[in-house]
């Protein structure tokens, strides 16, 4: 019997929606694409982002402190944990239902609430830049800075938003458990945003940060010795000179070529840059490893080599 290809999928925000009803509808579509890959003979591990969701949880917790002065402010790491749990709840139910609908009864689905260790000396902590939560007025921003020790920044004339650090992940704390579950045949949902923690002796302390899902997914894929990392986004392929008259779509890219394109500044920071960087990191980490960037609904075609942008050594 041929060995199954192990794939880590990094789901973007478009696969999850921005509200609870949107998420419930979106995960049904997402589940179909993931089970398509399973029917292709792949062993799938699911990772995902949580930007809109953690912002929503954070807003709800702030509202609670306004209603009840006895309620302490909720740490961002706890908000991330909450978002992991409810996203995982919707995803695992949608995946289980889709598997059963297709007559696949031997693949259990489980969510692993995952802590991801970051370096407390990461430079990102000195320059918070990742916006979360809703826009507020200057007066509200000042109150949040004074009462909650938040860093607030004005955003393009639209108001103020909280910004937090986005440090690089250095360790997936629960990796041994995740690996055991995957090796046992489970469809595992893990590293959902990654609960950011720093190590203080034997204690793991929650950090006021969010972890980029592409970098967390890359680390997860390397730790699980995956064959593929598939980063799903809003376009079918990566482009050079995106949106310009000389736009060029990339199909097959070597690590060296991709690194040159990054150096030349082809990919926008906050958009395609981190996806390409994570794809290159994974593809370069070991011979035979391949990264793909494509649309969710094109993931089956991408794994067959029909579309998407493929990164390899």
DSSP bridge partners of 169: 118
Three-state SS string over the chain comes to CCCCEEEEEEECHHHCCCCHHHHHHHHHHHHHHHHHHHHCCEEEEEEECCHHHHHHHHHHHHHHHHHCCCCCCCCHHHHHHHHHHHHHHHHHHHHHHHHHHCCCCCCCEEECCCEEEECCCCHHHHCCCEEEEEEECHHHHHHHHHHHCCCEEECCCCCEEEEEECCCEEEECCHHHHHHHHHCCCEEECCCCCEEEEEECCEEEECCECCCHHHHHHHHHHHCCCCEEEEEECCCCEEECCCCCCCEEECEEEHHHHHHHHHCCCCCCCCCHHHHHHHHHHHHCCCCCEEEEEEHHHHHHHHCCCCCEEEEC
Measured CA distances, 207 to 40, 80, 121 (Å): 39, 10, 12
What does the alpha-carbon distance between residue 3 and residue 128 come to, in Å, rounded to a whole number?
A: 43
Reply yes or no on whether 241 is catalytic.
no
Q: Active-site residue among 51, 58, 193, 275? A: 275
Token pair recorded at residue 119: 């370096």
309 with 253: CB under 8 angstroms? yes
Reply yes or no on whether 13 is catalytic.
yes
Q: Active-site residue among 12, 50, 55, 130? A: 130
Q: Active-site residue among 17, 213, 237, 298? A: 213
Q: Active-site residue among 4, 14, 18, 206? A: 14
Residues designated as active site: 13-14, 130, 213, 275
């Amino acid at each position: 019997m041929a060995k199954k290809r192990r794939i880590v999928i990094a789901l973007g925000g478009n696969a999850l929606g921005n509200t609870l009803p949107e998420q419930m509808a979106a995960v049904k579509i997402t589940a179909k694409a993931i089970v398509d890959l399973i029917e292709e003979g792949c062993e799938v591990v699911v990772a995902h982002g949580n930007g809109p969701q953690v912002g929503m949880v954070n807003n709800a917790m702030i509202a609670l402190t306004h209603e009840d002065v006895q309620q302490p402010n909720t740490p961002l790491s706890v908000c991330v944990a909450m978002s992991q749990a409810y996203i995982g709840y919707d995803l695992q139910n949608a995946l289980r239902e889709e598997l059963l609908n297709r007559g696949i009864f031997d693949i259990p689905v489980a969510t692993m609430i995952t802590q991801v260790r970051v370096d407390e000396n990461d430079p990102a902590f000195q320059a918070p830049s990742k916006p979360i939560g809703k826009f507020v007025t200057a007066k509200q921003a000042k109150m949040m800075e004074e009462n909650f020790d938040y860093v607030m920044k004005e955003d393009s004339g639209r108001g103020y938003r909280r910004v937090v650090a986005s440090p690089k992940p250095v360790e997936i704390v629960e990796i041994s458990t995740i690996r055991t579950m995957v090796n046992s045949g489970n469809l595992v949902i893990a590293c959902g945003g990654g609960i950011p923690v720093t190590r203080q002796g034997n204690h793991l302390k929650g950090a006021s940060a969010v972890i980029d899902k592409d970098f967390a997914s890359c680390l997860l894929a390397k730790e699980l010795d995956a064959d593929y990392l598939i980063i799903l986004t809003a376009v079918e392929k990566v482009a050079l000179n995106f949106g310009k008259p000389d736009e060029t779509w990339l199909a097959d890219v070597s690590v060296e070529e991709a690194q040159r394109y990054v150096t030349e500044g082809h990919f926008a920071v906050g958009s395609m840059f981190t996806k390409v960087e994570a794809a290159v990191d994974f593809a370069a980490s070991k011979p035979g490893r391949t990264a793909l960037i494509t649309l969710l609904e094109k993931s089956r075609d991408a794994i067959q080599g029909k579309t998407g942008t493929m990164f390899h050594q």
